[in-house]
Amino acid sequence: MSRTYLSPPDVGRVERDLLIEAFDSNWIAPLGPHVDAFEREFADAVGVPCAVALSSGTAALHLALLILGIGRGDDVVTSTMTFAATANAIAYVGANPVFIDVSPDTWTLDPDLLEEELKRRARRGHQAAAVLTVDLYGQCADYARVGEICERYGVRLVEDAAEALGATYGDRKAGAFGECAAFSFNGNKIITTSGGGMLVSRRRDIADRARHLAAQAREPAPHYQHAEVGYNYRLSNLLAAVGRGQLQSLPDKLARRRAINDEYRRALRDVPGIAFMPEAAYGRSNCWLTCLTVAPEAFGASREDIRLRLEREDIESRPLWKPMHLQPAFAGRAMSGGSISEDLFQRGLCLPSGSNLTAAEQANVIAALAATSAARGQSARGVAHA
């Protein structure tokens, strides 16, 4: 059997046809009809007026912070439980990341810690320039609370929705909460363009500025005229064509990821020591990755035992994100709390969750996971068979 990957690309005939059509049209450039159409269709899918197609989610985060005027010496409060790109973008603009632990109930930015942080800063007269939330593994941060806290302290809100396309908070979609939000179309995301990203915003002036800066800040002139430093961040028309095809099947991909998540929960619900990422009542996750934690005493084996066992069976799984405050690149940065994310990193695992995962592959993952405790002298207790 071939290797089972964590979250591989799931592309098909529609993407192929659109890509060939884009190729044959000779719009092989970081602009063209597919870029314009992808932006319109994506904005509709998220429920925001403006979207700007970029070369990566990281580029979208970078431009978002830059356009909001965040720069050298500013503090940006963000979740420690994230991929490095969130914190890197803060560093790109010369600002300081201030890390906050996550809530055990959602694994996203803890609103109580955020409130304490902004209150302390208000007292000292040194408020943060922005809060950058992360919609982790496809679950929205608690926007009613986070939004209210940001508003009360007059701090701007930016959303890292890289992992969360299609997730909801109440009746709104991930990406609709910050002044700007960033999405990723990296190869492992719920939809992919191999590499790519989108900056979305309610504000047209922000979108126009992002388009300008992403195209080397080139001024409208017959020669090459630049009034400021720009970036080469636009998405190619070829990749936008792939993205349009991917977007058409987003509802199917969401349904499939949800079904995979449901099946893991069903099959492992009675296994001692296994707990899944909580799904907050305020919304619906896009189930990008199914994540769980392992209590070694109760399960009879550790997270690493499971990961290595899966690896021996040619199944890819990953520890949860290593918190940013534990990363050497961000050593010595301000941090509030930390025990929740450290524990998640120690005991957490992401399971294969791709929308093209077959039922047989998933059954193998479940059997291998359960067999890890059996191999440690316990019976494979609690696995529910379909």
According to DSSP, the residues that pair with 130 across neighbouring strands are: 76, 156
When asked if residue 138 is in the footprint of ligand PLP (CB under 6 A), the reply is no
CA distance 6 to 163: 14
Are 263 and 341 spatial neighbours (Cβ–Cβ below 8 Å)?
Answer: no
**Alpha carbon separation from 314 to 186, 196, 252, 362, 368 (Å, rounded):** 23, 28, 27, 13, 10
User: Could you give the residue ranges of the DSSP H alpha helices within the chain?
Assistant: 13-25, 33-46, 57-67, 84-92, 111-124, 143-153, 204-214, 237-248, 250-268, 296-299, 303-312, 339-347, 359-375
Rg (the chain; Cα; Å): 21
The closest residue (CB) to ligand PLP is 57
Given the complex with ligand PLP, which of 193 and 302 has the nearer CB atom? 193
When asked if residue 159 is in the footprint of ligand PLP (CB under 6 A), the reply is no
Note the Cα 323 to chain centre separation in Å.
14
Annotate 350-364 with b (16+ C-beta within 10 A) or e (fewer): bbbbbbebeeebbeb
Note the Cα 75 to chain centre separation in Å.
22
When asked if residue 56 is in the footprint of ligand PLP (CB under 6 A), the reply is yes
When asked if residue 197 is in the footprint of ligand PLP (CB under 6 A), the reply is yes
Under DSSP, the state recorded for 170 is T
Member of 57, 273, 300, 337 binding ligand PLP (CB under 6 A): 57
Q: Specify the stretch interacting with ligand PLP by CB under 6 A; choose among 2-10, 55-63, 328-336, 358-366.
A: 55-63
Member of 48, 53, 65, 134 binding ligand PLP (CB under 6 A): 134
Member of 4, 106, 184, 362 binding ligand PLP (CB under 6 A): 184
Q: Specify the stretch interacting with ligand PLP by CB under 6 A; choose among 78-86, 148-156, 204-212, 376-384.
A: 78-86
Please report how close the Cβ of residue 91 comes to ligand PLP at its closest, in angstroms. Answer: 13
Q: Specify the stretch interacting with ligand PLP by CB under 6 A; choose among 18-26, 77-85, 354-362, 364-372.
A: 77-85
When asked if residue 160 is in the footprint of ligand PLP (CB under 6 A), the reply is yes
Q: Specify the stretch interacting with ligand PLP by CB under 6 A; choose among 14-22, 107-115, 156-164, 292-300.
A: 156-164
Please report how close the Cβ of residue 186 comes to ligand PLP at its closest, in angstroms. Answer: 4
When asked if residue 369 is in the footprint of ligand PLP (CB under 6 A), the reply is no
When asked if residue 85 is in the footprint of ligand PLP (CB under 6 A), the reply is yes
Who's near 47: CB < 8 A, 6+ residues apart?
Answer: 172, 173, 176
What's phi and psi for 133, nearest 5 deg?
A: -80, 160
When asked if residue 186 is in the footprint of ligand PLP (CB under 6 A), the reply is yes
Q: Specify the stretch interacting with ligand PLP by CB under 6 A; choose among 17-25, 51-59, 116-124, 214-222.
A: 51-59
CA distance 161 to 337: 23
When asked if residue 82 is in the footprint of ligand PLP (CB under 6 A), the reply is yes
Given the complex with ligand PLP, which of 213 and 369 has the nearer CB atom? 213
Chain residues binding ligand PLP by CB under 6 A are: 56-58, 82-83, 85-86, 134, 160, 162-163, 184, 186, 197
